[in-house]
Structures are given as structure tokens and as C-alpha cells.
Structure 1
């Protein structure tokens, strides 16, 4: 019998387990195999691997510092903005930590107390309500296993099975599919590049240098000729001098884009959601690590006084995230309306000459 079962060991789930593991009996389940350093069953997280200023701030609040072996070259101090609709190109100062996302996840997991039961390479199947709380079922080593828990935490991202089971798909954020490929690059790049092109997507695309290769990604509408639009993006960027001929790896994943406050959903009864499963992700940039750390911290603080009433305490603490998401949505028109974006870029305000 566990006090808390956490489904998902990304930044949200791992940070929560780290914070509460010495107070509660915790079970942590993840489909990736983090137990084996050389496992081929690790599925790459479709993530640009940039630690934005908001995420850096959360690490400071948590008293954490990034080990240097997690970082990759080059460190990035500027964003190049390419506006295909208006044929504009500008550069803005912004500071990111450029990192290896898998190593970042492993680092967070390494700080989880040893008394937390970590079950990797496992697939969560579902739960049923029982008198003591819930009985969960998951597949591990091709066997179905059950466990009892008082609380379930969904930290399982934009494809959250926990959220689907408790919300009946009501008030779901808009969902995009992120496609990302890595390419060998003979020419060094030094900027994070954001591409805006309404022919490709009403969100954005990105180029991120990582050591001697480039990541090219795009957040696309599902079932809307996604493969063709990704290939069109590559063709357009080749005309600007980018080289995407030496593909190394391709990955994809769903991401949320919450445009309404009702789409930010923290759970019900003794089932709580954290990170992107809750819809906590920036609707303007798709940055999610800061929200993962923030929601997991708020939930851990809400559990300090015990299980009874934790959900109400959690929802109260998370009110400021609602205001943050509202502010990000107010910012979006300046980024995604081509007419407003044209005025902003042509003004040269905050740009590097």
C-alpha cells in the first residue's frame, strides 16, 4: 500500500518524488528505462533541450544548480527570428542553457530518495477506486502488476492517460504534434532560431544547435498534412542556406497549447495533475520545464500538512500559474499575428543591430 503513486518521471514527476520521497511511501512509474545507462529502450524526449530563464529561476528557488556534464555547446545568448510571411529576419538577446535533455532527466531522477520505489520500462494501464484509495495496474516485464495507493499523480505529459480517465476529454488544451529531426552540420551555428510561417503552422518552428549538429523542429496541427508541411519547412530553410541533408534521428510527440484558463486542470478528489498533464505549458513558446518544476513544488508544499485537503491547498497555490498563462496568451498575438509581428520586428525594438 503506497501513499502516493506518480505516473511519469519527467521533470514534474521526478521533482515531486525528490521533494516528498522522505515523508511518504512513494511509487514512481515511467515507460522509459532510466535504470540502465545504456538502455536502447530510452525513448528520446521530443524537446529542444533549452533551459529558459523561467526554468532557471525555478531551479534557483529549488536550490539546484546544473552540473556541467549536462550542458552542450554552444551556450545560447540570442534568438534569431525568421518571419517567412513578412520576409523579415532579426536578432534578439535572450539567455538559455543549452543541454542534453536525457541527461537532465537522469540528473533529476538521481536525486530521488532511495526509499522511493522506481519502476521503469513500465506502461501504466489504468486504475479503479477502492475503499483505501485506488488500485492501479501497469505492465512490467510483460506482466500486469497491481498496486494500491491513496493518491495518484498524473505527470505523464500531453498524452496523459490519467487526465483522459478523469476528465472525459473535457476542456482539453489544443494539441499539436511536434516533429524534430537532428542533422549533422558542418557549419557552426550560435543562435536559437524561431521560424514563423503560416503556410507551415499557426504555432512556430525552431532550429537549435547541439555540438556538431542541428535540431530542426516544428509544432504542427495533427492530421493536417504534417509530413508534407515539415518537408516544406525544410525546403524553405534550404533556400536560406541551411543544410538538412544528413539526418541522424527523428522523433515526435504531442504537446499542449492551452488557450483558455479552463484548460488548466489540476485534477479531482485524490488524483492530481502536474506539469503538461495539467495543461501547464507556455501557449506562446511551448516552454514546459518551468511549469513542471513549479507545479510539482506547489503540490509538494500542499502535501506538507498531510493528505487530507491537499487538493484544495494545491489549487490555491497554483492560482498564480493561471495568471501567468493568461499573460502568455495576451502576448501571443504579437508573436503569431503576421501584421502585428511585422510592426514589432520592423520597429527594431529590443533587437541587436
Structure 2
């Protein structure tokens, strides 16, 4: 019998497990093998691997320091903004930690309290409500297992099975908009000292990015599902080649879904004994898709809500999550200046805050 079963060992799930692992009996479940680097089950998360200032602030608040072997060259101090719709570009000063996402997740797992039980190579299947809590069923190394818990936490990302299961009971559940992220790695011998953000309404009403990683560059785009997604991505590549980017030697392709929380009602903390954190809760920036800071912040809020015990924790958590709602509101107010072509052109043409 566990106190808490956490589904998902990304930044949200691992942070929560670390914060409550000395007080509660915790089981952490993830489909990846985050302890054995030589595992055959290497599932890479489709992620740019940049820690923005908000995420850096949360890491500092949590009393953590990132090991140097998690970081990759180059460290970035600028963002190059390319507006293909208006044919204009600007360089702005920004500070990012450039890192290896898989190593980052493995590091977070490595600092968990020894009392936290972990089941990797495990896939959550379903849960049933029982007296005093829930019975959680999952497969581990192809064997079906089940365990009992007082509380379930969904830290399982944009396609959260936990959130979807709650919607069975809450038909009015308002879910964030879904985007498809396609990201390709290309060999690149030229040093690129900045993160590139790309805007083009012909490709997406969100944005695309180029991120340097050692001897590679990552080209990614957030695209609307079922809207000629692959064709739009290839269109982006063609335009960038004309812009001078070398995208000839592709190494691998990754993909994932991204939530875009445009309404405050789309941020959902959970119900009864089922809580949601990180992107599963809809806690992700609607302007930049930055999720690390929200993952760790929501995990911290839930941990603080559990400090007084499991009884009544949900009311305390919902109250704390209002702080994330306020932040999301500000991000949504910022979005028109980024995603309205005319407003974006005026802002970039002015040169305000550019370097």
C-alpha cells in the first residue's frame, strides 16, 4: 500500500517524488529506463533541452545545482528572432542553459530519496477506485502488476492518461489545444551562438526553433495536428535553406504532442485523490511552450499541499495553483505581440530591446 503513486518521471514527477519521498511511501512509474544508461529501452523525449530564466529560478529555489556533464555546448546568451512572414530579423539578449534532456531527467532521478520505489520500463494501464484509495495497474518488463495507493499523481505529459481518465467523470473538462512537435537533428560544423525562434503564419500559428547542440543543430516546429503537418514542416525547411541554413545531413527525427493552454479553465489540478502536475495539468507557457519551470513549480505546490497530510490536500493545491493561473494569464496577454504579424512587425521594426 503506497501513499502516492506518481505516473511519469519527468521534471514534474521526479521533483515531486524528491520533495515528498522522505515523508510518504512513494512509487514512481515511467516507461523509460532512467537508471540504466545501457538499457535497450532508450526513449528520447522530443525536447529542445533549453532551461529558460524561469526554469533556472525554480532550480535555484529548489536548492539544486546542475552537474556540468548534463550541459552541452554552446551555452546561449541570445535569441535570434526570424519573422519569415515579414522578412525581418532581430537579435535579443536572453540567457539559456543548453543541456542534454535525457541526462537531465536521469540526474533528477539520481537524487531521489532512497525510500522512493521506482518502476521503470513500466507502462500505466488503468486504475480502479477502492476503499481508502485506488488500485493502479501497470505493466513492468511485460508483466502486468497492480498496487494500492491513497493518492495518484498524473505527471504524464500532454497526452496524460490520468487526465483523460478523469474526463470520463467530468464531461465538461476543458483541455488545452494540442500541437504536434516535429524535431530533426542535423550535422553542423559551423558554430551557432544563439537560439533561433522562427515565425511564419504559412507554417504554423505557433512557432519553430533552431537550437545548436555540440556538432548538431535541432530544427523543430509546433504544428497543428491534421493540418498537412509533415508538408508544413518540409515547407519550413525549404524556406530556411533559402535563408542559408544547412539542413542536408539529417541524423534523426523526433516527435511529440505539446499542450497550449490558451484559457485559464484549461489548467486543471485534479479531483478527489487524483492530482495533476506539469503539462498534464496544462501548466505550460502558451507563448513559448516552456514547461520546465511550470513542471517544477506545480510539483513544489503539490508537495507543499501535502505537508499537512493527504486529507484536504486538493483544496490546498487548487488554491496554490492560482499563482500559475496568474502567470498563464500574463503569458496569454503577451501572445498577441508575438503571434499577430502586424504587431510583431511593429515591435521588431522598432528595434526595442534588440542588440
3-state SS of 1:74 partner: coil
The separation in 2 between residues aligned to 1:97 and 1:189, in whole angstroms, is 15
Residue equivalent to 2:86: 86
Residue equivalent to 1:339: 342
Do residues 76 (structure 1) and 79 (structure 2) align?
no
Alpha-carbon displacement from aligned partner over 1:54-99 (angstroms, at most 9, x marks no partner): 0000011101111111111001000000001100011000000000
Residue pairs, 1:245-284, within 5 angstroms: 245-284=248-287
Alpha-carbon displacement from aligned partner over 1:112-151 (angstroms, at most 9, x marks no partner): 1111110001110010000020001001121111100000
Do residues 313 (structure 1) and 289 (structure 2) align?
no
The separation in 2 between residues aligned to 1:42 and 1:150, in whole angstroms, is 31
Residue equivalent to 1:158: 158
Residue equivalent to 1:39: 39
Residue equivalent to 2:194: 191
1:345 CA displacement: 0.2
From 228, 232, 237, give the equivalent of 2:231.
228
Do residues 295 (structure 1) and 298 (structure 2) align?
yes
The separation in 2 between residues aligned to 1:265 and 1:5, in whole angstroms, is 19
The separation in 2 between residues aligned to 1:250 and 1:114, in whole angstroms, is 36
Can you give the 5+ residue segments of structure 1 that lack an aligned partner in the other structure? Answer: none
3-state SS of 1:42 partner: coil
Residue equivalent to 2:240: 237
| Displacement over 4 Å in runs of 4+ | none
The separation in 2 between residues aligned to 1:338 and 1:190, in whole angstroms, is 26
From 213, 216, 219, give the equivalent of 1:216.
219
Do residues 285 (structure 1) and 284 (structure 2) align?
no
1:103 CA displacement: 0.6
Q: What is the TM-score with the length of structure 1 in the denominator?
A: 0.99
1:40 CA displacement: 2.9
CA contact (8 A) 2:35 2:110 kept: no
3-state SS of 1:158 partner: coil
The separation in 1 between residues aligned to 2:68 and 2:117, in whole angstroms, is 28
Pairwise CA RMSD: 0.7
From 329, 332, 351, give the equivalent of 1:348.
351
Residue equivalent to 1:49: 49
The separation in 2 between residues aligned to 1:70 and 1:299, in whole angstroms, is 27
3-state SS of 2:197 partner: strand
Can you give the 5+ residue segments of structure 2 that lack an aligned partner in the other structure? Answer: none
The separation in 2 between residues aligned to 1:121 and 1:253, in whole angstroms, is 19
1:350 CA displacement: 0.1
The separation in 2 between residues aligned to 1:19 and 1:326, in whole angstroms, is 27
Do residues 2 (structure 1) and 5 (structure 2) align?
no
Residue equivalent to 1:182: 185
Q: What is the TM-score with the length of structure 2 in the denominator?
A: 0.98
3-state SS of 2:102 partner: helix
CA contact (8 A) 2:35 2:106 kept: no
